[in-house]
Chain A
Amino acid sequence: MTPAPVPTTRFLPTVSALVRKDLLLERRTRETLTAMVLFSLSTFVVFHYALDRSSLDGDLASGVLWVTLLFAAVLAIGRLFVTEAEQGGFDGFLLAPVDRTALFVAKALVLCAFLIVLELILVPAFAVLLLGPGLGQALPELVAVLLLANVGIAVIGTLVGAIGVQTRSRDLIVPLLALPLIIPLLIAGAEATAPLLLDGGAEPLPGRWLAVLALYDGVFGLLAYAVFDFLLED
């Protein structure tokens, strides 16, 4: 038995409405981004004292940058669907005659936007606080690596956030699931960034890491797009 055809609104307007809703919410509450930025700045201070170094370069600088970024991202992933679950946003969305995958695309875009804003603050702060060599000449490559990684984190984060928000121990499940899944991104990102932050001037970016990042984005993007519907059915 097939249900009677329901007139559905088009995909892109739905996505854009959802994205605008989330951005408006963030602009009014300033909850997630503030937490992410403050958390990353504290993490830099922690690294400064834990490593007992006042300036970093190469592997170490790249590692610190990526670890900070990932942990800040995990904060955002945990918060991503909280309003939907607690304030009845899921019910409202499921009642609306729209494609359910729109929610996935919208949330991934919002998470991506959060990460970009975070990086706009995080990377200059890192350059000022901890980074030894200048960032100037390596900046375009770094931007490319970060953008590719953002897509992957956003895709995995949306999926994990949607799974985690329905569990009782949400704050425990989200980091447990998200971190192992993001490790390939961390490997590729850290390995690609390390030569850019060398003391004696940036070395060329190894292209294969960009390929790994793009492959990861592609595979998990398609996969998450395909299975996300099942997380909403009720």
Chain B
Amino acid sequence: MFGRGLTALSLFTALTLTTAFALVFFYAPNDADQGFIQKIFYVHVPMAIVALIGFVIGGWYGLKYLRKGDRADDLRSYVAIHLSLILGVGVLITGSIWAKAAWGHWWVWDEPTLVSFLIVFLLFACYQPLRFSIDDHERQARYAAVFAVVGGAFVPLNFMAVRLAESFVHPRLGTTGDSMPGSMRLTFLIAIIGMAALYATLWRYELASKNATFQLRALRRRLGGDEDSLPRRSAAPQVLS
């Protein structure tokens, strides 16, 4: 149920990501101010955008779970937030490297995008501790969904508040995008498509893998062995039905 079309998606991801990196290194010009280091932009920014959208998607599936009560939606929400957290670590690290190279500091507080990303990341970092500390699987799914919905709504509001509070120094899409030469913009576009495809592929793979684990466990239980029963506590969803 989760594996359909995965091969095509994987191939598409491999293709776009390879194209994106080839364009980054051989086609896009070096930045006039920052030189070569500016190329981290093609990894950092797509990753950040995809991670944030992933958090919102997690909230969306949380909302769907609350309305319909389908455990598969809980799993989708969990996997989306989990993957976004992993990307989030990458965003913070690449952001720090870029800040060090461009401004000479590992962390710059008056840069709203980095700071608001950190706040969102810290909030969603509580998602798994929250799940882990609720024993009952059904209640865990429900509470996690409520959290995901609130967190999803928090993302845009937080960005607005932080952005208002700080000066505008971070290169941003929309404001700086108009001054970007066409070759850079094309590269950036392909990079963001590649990153989104990577996210979608990993998401689908993880869903398929979790689903396979659930089915295997159900089969084992039907064969009478109970050595593989449900763990008493876990942060991940344990059953689909």
A176 (CB) vs chain B CBs: closest residue:
B126
B65 (CB) vs chain A CBs: closest residue:
A230
Residues facing B in A181-217 (CB within 8 A) are 181, 183-184, 187-188, 191, 208-209, 212, 215-216
Chain A residues with CB under 8 A of B126: 173, 176-177, 180
Contact-residue size bin, chain A (C-beta under 8 Å from the other chain): 20 to 34
User: Does B139 sit at the interface, judged by CB under 8 A?
Assistant: yes
Residues facing A in B153-180 (CB within 8 A) are 153-154, 157-158, 160-162, 164-165
A218–B147 Cα distance when bound, in Å, is 18
Residues facing B in A140-169 (CB within 8 A) are 159, 163, 166-169
Number of B interface residues in the complex (CB < 8 A): 28
User: Does A224 sit at the interface, judged by CB under 8 A?
Assistant: yes
In contact, A187 and B153 (Cβ under 8 angstroms): no
In contact, A224 and B158 (Cβ under 8 angstroms): no
In contact, B150 and A169 (Cβ under 8 angstroms): no
Chain B residues with CB under 8 A of A172: 129, 133
A220–B66 Cα distance when bound, in Å, is 17
In contact, A168 and B135 (Cβ under 8 angstroms): yes
A residues at B contact (CB < 8 Å): 159, 163, 166-169, 172-173, 176-177, 180-181, 183-184, 187-188, 191, 208-209, 212, 215-216, 219-220, 223-224, 227, 230-231, 233-234
In contact, B146 and A163 (Cβ under 8 angstroms): yes
User: Does B119 sit at the interface, judged by CB under 8 A?
Assistant: yes
B134 (CB) vs chain A CBs: closest residue:
A167
A-B CB contact pairs (8 Å), 10 listed: A163-B143, A167-B134, A177-B147, A212-B161, A219-B153, A220-B150, A224-B150, A227-B146, A230-B66, A230-B145
> Which of B130, B135, B145 makes the CB contact (< 8 A) with A177?
B130
